[in-house]
Amino acid sequence: MVRGVDEQRPLENLLNESVVTPKQYFSLVDTIARLSLKAEARRYYFGFWWWVIEPLLYVAVFYIVFEQLLGTRTPDFLMFLIVGKFTFIWFSKTVNYAGNSLVANAGLIGRMDLPKTLFPMAVILECTYRQTAVFALLGLALIIDGHLPNAYWLWVLPLIAVEALLIVLCGFIASVLVCIKRDFALLINLGMLFLLFMSGVFWDLNAIGNQATQDAVLFWNPVAFLLHSFRQALLWQQAPDLSHLMGLTLFLSCGLVLVAKGMSRYRYYLAQRVVTT
Write the pLDDT tens digit of every residue in 172-199: 999 999 999 999 999 999 999 999 999 9
Q: How far is CA 74 from CA 58, 61, 71, 181, 202, in A?
A: 18, 17, 9, 41, 9
What is the Cα–Cα distance from 122 to 173, expressed in whole angstroms?
15
What ranges do the domains of the chain cover? 32-276
Q: For 113, which DSSP code? A: -
Amino acid letter at 139? G
Contacts of 170 (CB under 8 A, 6+ apart): 91, 95, 98
Cβ contact 178:99 at 8 Å: yes
Closest C-alpha among 169, 147, 166 to residue 158: 166
Quick check: 125 and 29 in contact, CB under 8 A?
yes
pLDDT at 96: 96
> In this structure, what is the dihedral angle of CA atoms 75, 79, 81, 87, given to the nearest 10 degrees?
-140
Each residue's pLDDT tens digit, 18-29: 445 788 888 889
pTM attached to this predicted model: 0.90
Give the least confident one: 36-40, 85-89, 149-153: 36-40
Give the model's pLDDT for residue 11: 54
Residue 35: which of 132, 155, 109, 122 has the closest Cα? 122
